[in-house]
Structure 1
Amino acid sequence: MTKDLTRDIAAMIGSRICHDLISPVGAISNGVELLTMSTGDTSPELSLIAESVENANARVKFFRIAFGMASPGQMTGRKEMLSIFNAMATARLTYEWLPETDMLREEVKLACLMMLCIETALPRGGIIRISNDDGQWKICANSDRLDPSPDLWARLGAVTTTEGLKPSEVQFILAPLQADSLNRRISTHTDDSMLRLIA
């Protein structure tokens, strides 16, 4: 009961924060677009602002899925995920969302949390591929340098406490919690050129 309540409260806080941020970030994006249209300004500085706002908007939407509430039966569209990951991509880190259909929000939430775990092991960036085969998520990362933390990776197999974790590592608690809520378990696979999380 306590575990479920803690997870639900954390998700509600995540939803609230993202909900409150979406509007102002969207307003900034609209403002930049209007400024470009009215003045014809296509300077590198304005382009940089526009790209940064687009990335921030995508990140907030992503965090809303990863950390927010997932109501039973709620769906998340394939097009939405493709749009989010396209906007989140940088020269250093790119994402490939491979599922061909819309997915249950609670399933996508698990995939996003697992992806956040993978990101921590890519200090030089790389490519992250997210696929779902027969109801099983596979999050794979390729990079010229992989640096998974053994202590963090060990947490993914079971629900643990917050002891020893930084706020930036909260996904290593939430991913196993979400997997547990779906009656699943996260397994880790590593080699010299690839990291893989499966659930």
Structure 2
Amino acid sequence: MTEDAATIPIRPAELAAFLAARMCHDFISPASAIVSGLDLLEDPTAQDMREDAMGLIAASARKLADLLAFSRVAFGASASAETFDARELEKLARGVFGHMRAELDWQVEPAGVNKPAARTLLNLAQMAGAALPTGGSARVRAVEEAASIAIAVEATGPRARLRPEVLAGLRGEGPGEGLHGHWVQARYVNLFVGDAGGRVFADVAEERVTLAATIPA
């Protein structure tokens, strides 16, 4: 008898490999664009495109730096830091949203949050932005309720959608026939929220995706 693939727990090494592949995929696009810009600068037949090349290099370097700074906290939690300033988290989120079509509406009440909550805020915010491929608004809210931090992220806009593999990952399931690159971030969120003693939820409606989590304070 075989077990359903969706219920098989993922091995830590396998999750790490998928997560590393996902981050490399995110980083390679701006890195490649920087190299393309440098190639243009060195091409003696393309000197009339120097201004365009410099613009491409600058924009791509900014995107790469924004993604690296974001990923350091969202996936690595910035070394030994246990509490994160909400203003710094907003800065990281806005850096990533500067390269997306969606607008970010940041409404986080606590001045500081613990490491699991910081990771959750950033990851759910990025997932909400990705759920709005043609634009819209991603509202990120967080409040302290008793001994917990309640997080709600709502993505609204035309064609707002959550990929089936992302929904599966948030539920702790396998990707099925979906892409591992989209699934692994959601599965990672499910794992670290659960390890912290919290829960994560998702709801999909017409032109709206809602992601929510509760994390012990």
TM normalised by structure 2 equals: 0.64
| Bigger shift: residues 101-110 or 45-54 | 45-54
d(CA) in 2 for partners of 1:198, 1:178: 14
SS at 1:160 equivalent: coil
Cα distance in structure 2, aligned partners of 1:98 and 1:126: 16
TM-score (norm 1): 0.68
CA RMSD of aligned residues (A): 3.5
2-structure distance, mates of 1:79, 1:47 = 29
2:138 to 118, 122, 128: 128
Distance 1:92 1:4 in 2: 33
- For the pair 1:90 / 2:102, whether they are aligned, the reply is no
Name whichever structure is richer in strand by fraction.
2
User: Are 1:109 and 2:119 matched, yes or no?
Assistant: yes
Percent of aligned pairs with the same amino acid: 20
Residues 144-165 of structure 1 deviation map (CA, whole Å, 9 limit, x = unaligned): 21122345324423x2346545
Post-superposition offset of 1:62: 1.0
Q: Aligned to 2:141, what secondary structure does the other structure show?
A: strand
Q: Which amino acid aligns with 2:16?
A: A
Of the candidates 165, 171, 187, which is equivalent to residue 201 of structure 2? 187
Q: 1:172–1:164: structure 2 CA closer, same or farther, 3 Å change rule?
A: farther
Counterpart mapping for 1:50-199 below 5 A: 50-69=58-77, 74-88=82-96, 89-90=98-99, 92-100=101-109, 101-134=111-144, 135-157=149-171, 159-161=172-174, 164-169=177-182, 170-199=184-213
- 1:72: Cα distance to partner? 7.4
**SS of aligned partner of 2:108:** coil
Counterpart-to-counterpart distance in 1, 2:162 and 2:187: 16
Distance 1:163 1:72 in 2: 35
Once residues 82 and 122 of structure 1 are traced to their aligned partners in structure 2, the CA distance between those partners, rounded to angstroms, is 19
The Cα shift of 1:4 comes to 11
* Pair 183,151 (structure 1): closer, same or farther in 2 beyond 3 Å: same
Aligned residue in 1 for 2:47:
none
**Per-residue deviation, 1:196:** 0.9
Q: Matched residues in 2 for 1:83 and 1:73: separation?
A: 17
- State the 1:71 CA deviation: 6.3
* Alpha-carbon distance in 2 for matches of 1:91, 1:115: 12
Give the ranges of 4+ consecutive aligned residues of structure 1 lying more than 3 Å apart after TM superposition.
Answer: 69-73, 161-165
Contact 1:116 1:171 (C-alpha < 8 Å) held by counterparts: no
Determine the C-alpha separation between the residues in 2 that align with 1:174 and 1:107.
Answer: 13
Point out the structure with max Rg over C-alpha: 2
| Unaligned runs of at least 5 residues, structure 2 | 1-8, 35-50
Instruction: Evaluate the alpha carbon distance shift between residue 10 and residue 68 of structure 1 in structure 2; reply closer, same or farther with a 3 A threshold.
Output: farther
Q: What is the number of residues matched between the two proteins?
A: 173
Any idea what SS the aligned residue of 1:115 has? helix
- With over 3 angstroms needed to count, the CA separation of the structure-2 counterparts of 1:51 and 1:85, relative to structure 1, is farther
1:10 matches 2:2: no
> After the TM superposition, which residues 18-57 of structure 1 pair with which residues of structure 2 at under 5 Å, given as runs?
43=51, 45-57=53-65
Q: Are the counterparts in 2 of residues 113 and 174 from structure 1 also a CA contact under 8 Å? A: no
